[in-house]
Structures are given as structure tokens and as C-alpha cells.
Amino acid sequence: MKNLKFLFFFSLVITFVLPVTAQKQKNNSSVRSSSTHRCGTEIVMEELFRKYPAFKKEMELSRAKKFQAQQQQLRIPFRVEAIHTIPVVVHIVLASPSTVSDAQVQSQIDVLNEDYGGTNADSSRIPAAFKPVFGKSNIRFCLARRDPKGDATNGINRVTSTVISNPGLNDPVKFTCSGGSDAWDPSKYLNIWVCQMPSGFLGYSFFASDPLSFIPLNERGFVNNYRSFGRTGTAQAPFNKGKTATHEIGHFFDLEHIWGPNNCDGTQTCADDDGINDTPLQLSCTSGAPAADSVIKDACSPNAPGIMWMNYMDYVDDIAMVMFSKQQCSAMETSLLNTTWMQGLATSDGCTPPATLNRDVRVEKFTDQTITNCGTANTTVYTCTNTYRPVVTIKNVGTDNITSLTLSAKFGTGTPVVTTWTGTIAPQSTTDITLNTMTLNAGSNNNLIVYTSNPNGSADQKVANDTGKLGAVIYPFVTTPYTEGFESTSFPPAVWKRTNPDADVTWQRTTKAAKTGVASMFMDNYNYSSNDQKDDMTSPLFSVKGKDSVFLTFQVAAATYNPPDMLNNPTDTLEILVTKDCGQTFTSVYKKWGLDLVTTGNIGVDTAYVPIASQWRRDTAFLGDYSLSTTDNIQAVIRNTTNYENNVYIDDINITYKDANANLKRNGVMVTPNPSRGLFILQYYEKPVNLDFINVYNYAGQLVWQKKISAGLSGNNLGPNYVEIDLRNVSTGLYTVQLVYRSKKAQIIKVLKVN
Ligand SMILES: [Zn+2]
């Protein structure tokens, strides 16, 4: 027992003054591999504190408030209250999600009900000295029987995916569009994501009192390594008794680790505390499986009975953690009932099944809806032709197998296109059904409506969930030359599509800098705290049929945080890609990072970068030669891949083309300008696959310049049909350009260098 309230608030100050990182870390990913962390909760918090000082401040306040509330609650004698049963949804996100069976999920729910109710058989291991404070909470758990749409569920949501949890904000496992599974309303369901985790992690949770302004509602719940989930199946010793979830839900309901609110990294002191009065002070975490009657003393609890190492909020093996204290239970109940966003968990109807229906199918979603923004399902798909084949995911939320179904699809009030489907959808399972081809109306949003009827040849018993809607648009078309300077305040420009898969920082318009006019487009890499995220701006379609050389030119200004010459690995990267098939496949035609990309020279910029007028550069991306191609239309994609460096600005985009010179078409090869002051461009009308060398000789027959062509003409900014011949360092006069082919054929062109 301790009464250390004042000391303990003082300790909060000490605990939260973490060293301020002077240098931005180049690699700030919160995925770490190290020895086993019983739990990643504090690692995640410290990572977030480093990234967001304001979050640290808010957390200090909310933790102080939480401890105050707990202290007030703890002064009241432990009360017997109503049992509160929390509906649970288990999202199993694995390459083979069925390897975690329904029975394994149920075993975890059983563990939770035993541990939280204090009916766990292993409570016999509690040392006699701690038996008086053995807590039995009034919190219980059920697998959800009613989903957020009011339909029947078994509370288990399997998603086939190879995604691995990245502990922290924006964990991909929590979002359908990044390969995970979207949360069910966390104010009504406890979401558990069971998945692969980085090496060493068993699980992590956010705290109930974490401010919603920093940890959004749709990331609440916790992540549990599938190797430490439940007490059967994929669970592996020594974490195979389901105690990881017991521990993480402790955090979910605001419990700290038993040694206090910081990571177990050797920096703790006896002034750190968990805010709970009936757990002894403890210096550090305990690991392994001490014998049941072990008395472990440490610097903070030097006398018997020592520390409460068998507490669920310590780090011992599953077999050894067997109790919450009474006041921990009271604190968790306080958290459940007093945390505004959590209160609905206690009153949710998620445990109550809806009326049983035999035949009930539901239009879950259009499969195309997952292709763009994370967090917010897109409501419109874009196509490049006037036809569209909807693919819809159908879920059987009734109790009979569904073996046949009619699907009707129409645009607005148009005539439905009817698809008859046969197959088998088991209860609680989904299947994707491809409908017959629809013809889109050009130039307007096509409001697509799909509805199901006639499951198993009879009426659907619930029609309210039989309809799905989606907008379908044919990509806008522009003619070349085309320019975009981002001067209009609407962004993205009407004919461009922005893709922001992680729903975090993305391309935006800014008036902080512009090459011309008042605005440009920029990526706030400075404040983009995750690595390797890709954000795209896709151009409208433009025709390239028969055009010799298509270019995208643009103004760019960019900086890195650390000096660019120190950066060997790709940092913030700007890339231009071309798609000829409406986004099915892409060809990269421009890719720059570090020294190649920056316009600030060989220095780092350690504040949010805003270019000055002289820091813009015109860059060119060669989008291809379509003179002999059957391609009609292409789109260019401007892609930023963040690596937490600094900002990239783009302005004055210009899509243009150059037709080949008539002489070039006739002769197949040409050098321009001729005469020149030293820079000559050798152009080919068709790609010279057999070209081996380009040699340049002076009047005396001496070789003055040479280029070996390894695989056609490539690797220069001008593209595959061009090569630059640089004679700036030789004297003026007449030179002979000799083109040597692998077939031993040679071709000669005379050029004149002038002053
Ligand atoms: Zn923990």
C-alpha cells in the first residue's frame, strides 16, 4: 500500500520529459525488431511522443486526469455493480486466416471472462500475501452476435492478407484498403486484430484516455500476435494461455504496466508508479515463469511480499500471470464507465443477436471501392472506356447456404442488366460476383445501383440490405498541349485524381511558393511521419496516337532534411509513371531522390522547406514515342514516396509532344542543331536496336568523343530515341559522327562546331 499521490504527480513530470530529438531520424519507422516485447504499448507511446510533442503534452494531462479519477474511485470501497458485457469483434488478418479457428477465438473469449471475472483456475498460484487484493471485475466479453449494420454475425471477421502490423498510428492491419480490416464502430465493439506482428511483439494497445484528437476512434482496440492469441491452435508457448489479450485489454481500460507508465528499458525509478494503490512499487518488468510461491524483492519493494510479479500487467510468461488487483479492476470499471467514447461499449446491443433469418444476403461492397483512399471508401470509380463490369461482394447473413441469386444493375433509372448467379455461400461467408457488362454514359457521373433478389428461388427476408450504390465516371479527356499551374483554388484540379492510400499527408495546393502565378502543388514530407508511403496524382487521359515524342515538363523545388550527399538510400522520392491501360500497369519514366532531386544544393534544410525563387528547376520526363504504337490514350502519374525528409513542390506542369522532323522521318537519323556550339542531339526516328558505338573524329582522324550503346539508346533524359553528343570541350571545326552497328554497318554524319 502506498500513498504517494504528490510524489507520484511529480514523477509524471520526470517520466514524460523524454529527450527531445535534435535530429530527425532518417528511418523513423515504428517497426522495430529486437528481443521479445511482452507488449508494444509503451514503445508505441514513446514513438508517438517523439514524433508529436503536442501529443506528449496532451497525454501528460489526460494521464494526470486519469490517475486523479482512479484515485477518487479508489477511495470509495470496492463496489459490486452490474456485469458489463463488451461485444468483441475479432479481425483475423492472415495469409491463411482459417488457421485461427473459431474454437481458438472462443478459447480467448473464455480466458478473458475467466481472468476478468477472477474465476481463472490458475488463480490458485496467487501467493497468500496477495490473495486479499485478488480482483474480480464486473467486465465480461462476448463474441458479437449483431454487426454494425444490425445483421447476424459470429463476431469473427477473416481477411486473407499478408499485411503485417506496424505498431503505432495508421497501423495497416486496421484498414481494409491497406490489406487489413476496418474497425467496427469502436464505441460499440472492442476490436481485436489478430495478425502477424514484427519480430518480438506480442501485442499493443492504445489507452482509453489517449486523446481522440491524436489517436482516432477507428484505431481503438488492440492488436494481438496470432502466435500469442487464445490457448489452442496457433498460440505458441510460453505465450499460449491467452494472457496477451488479458494484458492488452488492461491497457485498453487505462491500466499502466505495474512498474509505471514507461517502457521497461532500464530508465525507471521507484518514483514511477502505476497509479494503483494495492500494487506494490516495482522498479522493472519481470520475465520468465517464476515458481508460484516466489517472493521477488527489488529496490522499490525490498521487503516481503516483494513485488506483484504475477500480475497481468507485468511481463512474465502466460503460465505465471494470474491476477489483477482489486483496485486495478476498479480502475478499469472506472475507465469503461467514465471515458466518454467508451461508454457505449457497456450499453451496446452487439451481444444480442437479431431475429434469425434463413435467407438474407447483403451487398457488402463493390470490390472496386477498395482501390483508393484508406479510411474512407471511395464512392466513385474511374474507367477509361465506356464499359464497366461491376464486381460486388455478397455476404450471407442468414442461416441457410445460399446457392442461387439474381443480381440486377442499372444506372439511375435505366433498364437493369440482370445477372443470374449460382454457387454456394455458407452462412457468415462472402463471395465476389462479377456482373454482366454495363455501358457507361460519357461526360457524367453514372450512378450505379446493384440489388439482389430471389436467394435460393425465394424472397429475401430482409430487403433493406440488398442494395449497393457506386458512382462510375469515365476519366476526363484533355488535348495536348496541356498545362496545369494549380492556380484554381479547387484541388485536386477537376480532371486529376489524387490517391492517398494511407489517408495521411498527401498532395495539396499551396500558396507558400510558386514558380509562376500564386500557387503550386506540394507534398508535406516534413510532417509526413511514416516511411515509404506513396501518394499519386493521376493526370487526365490524353491522346498520344501517332505522336512522335510525348513529354511531361514541370517545375520542381525540393529539399532534404539531412544533407543529401549523406543519403545513400532512396529518401523522399519523386517519380513519374505512365499508364497505357487505365492504371492496370505502370512504367516508370523518371525517378529522383537526394542530390538528384533537391534544388537547394548539397545542404540539408532542417525546417519545413519553402523554396525561394531561385530554387526552382525545370525537369522533363519523356512519356514515350507513340509514332508507331497502337496506344490511343495514356495518363501520367506523379508519385511521391515519403521518407520523412522535406517538402517537394511542383508547378507549371506541361504535357506536350514533338513531331519528328520531316528529314528525320525520311533519313531515319539526324543531328541537330547543326552547326552548334558544342551540344548536338542525335535523333533516331525508330529505336536503333543494333547501334553499338557512336564515335566522333576530328579532321585529323583522332577520336574525340565516344559512347558505347549497351541496349539501344536509353538512360538519358531525352528518352530512348535521342542521345546527346557533347563536344563543348573540343575546338571549333568540322567533325565526323560515326554510327557503328553490331552488324558492322557504319553511317557517317558531318557536324560543325562553331563559336
Ligand atoms: Zn503492456
Mean pLDDT (the chain, rounded):
85
Is residue 696 predicted with pLDDT exceeding 80? yes
Cα 282 to middle of ligand 1, angstroms: 15
Residues forming a β-bridge with 625: none
Q: Could you read off the pLDDT of 113-142 as tens digits, one per residue?
A: 999 999 999 999 999 999 999 999 999 999
Of 42, 47, 248, 645, the active-site residue reads 248
Whole-number pLDDT of residue 440: 79
Cα 257 to middle of ligand 1, angstroms: 6
Question: Which of 3.40.50.1100, 2.60.40.10, 3.40.50.720, 3.10.20.600 would CATH assign to domain 361-474?
Answer: 2.60.40.10
Mean pLDDT in residue range 6-17: 24
Give residue limits of the domains in the chain.
5-25+36-347, 361-474, 478-658, 662-753
Cα 367 to middle of ligand 1, angstroms: 37
Question: To 5 degrees, how large is the angle CA 171–CA 103–CA 83?
Answer: 80
Cα 503 to middle of ligand 1, angstroms: 28
Whole-number pLDDT of residue 7: 26
Cα 182 to middle of ligand 1, angstroms: 23
What is the H or E stretch that residue 365 is in?
A: strand 361-366
The yes/no answer on whether domain 5-25+36-347 falls in CATH 3.40.390.10 is: yes
Cα 43 to middle of ligand 1, angstroms: 9
Is residue 22 predicted with pLDDT exceeding 60? no
pLDDT band at 625 (very low <50, low <70, confident <90, very high): confident
Is residue 190 predicted with pLDDT exceeding 90? yes
Whole-number pLDDT of residue 586: 93
Domains 5-25+36-347 and 478-658 share a fold: no
CA distance to 90, 91, 119, 236, 730, per residue, from 105 (Å):
8, 10, 19, 15, 77
Mean pLDDT in residue range 691-708: 90
pLDDT band at 374 (very low <50, low <70, confident <90, very high): low
Q: Could you read off the pLDDT of 579-619 as tens digits, one per residue?
A: 998 888 899 999 999 988 999 988 899 999 999 999 999 99
Question: To 5 degrees, how large is the angle CA 321–CA 322–CA 323?
Answer: 115
CATH number assigned to the domain covering 662-753: 2.60.40.1930
Mean pLDDT in residue range 219-228: 97
Whole-number pLDDT of residue 154: 94
Is residue 46 predicted with pLDDT exceeding 90? no
Q: Is 248 a catalytic residue?
A: yes
Q: What is the DSSP letter of 353?
A: P
| Other residues' Cβ atoms within 10 Å of the Cβ of residue 607 | 9
Pick the closest to residue 272 from 286, 260, 284, 254 (CA basis).
Answer: 260
| Other residues' Cβ atoms within 10 Å of the Cβ of residue 251 | 23
CB 368 within 8 A of CB 469: no
> Which of the residue ranges 49-53, 194-198, 250-254, 326-330 would you say has the lowest mean pLDDT?
49-53
Mean pLDDT in residue range 533-540: 91
User: What top-level class would CATH report for the domain 478-658?
Assistant: mainly beta
Cα 309 to middle of ligand 1, angstroms: 14
CA distance 219 to 210: 11
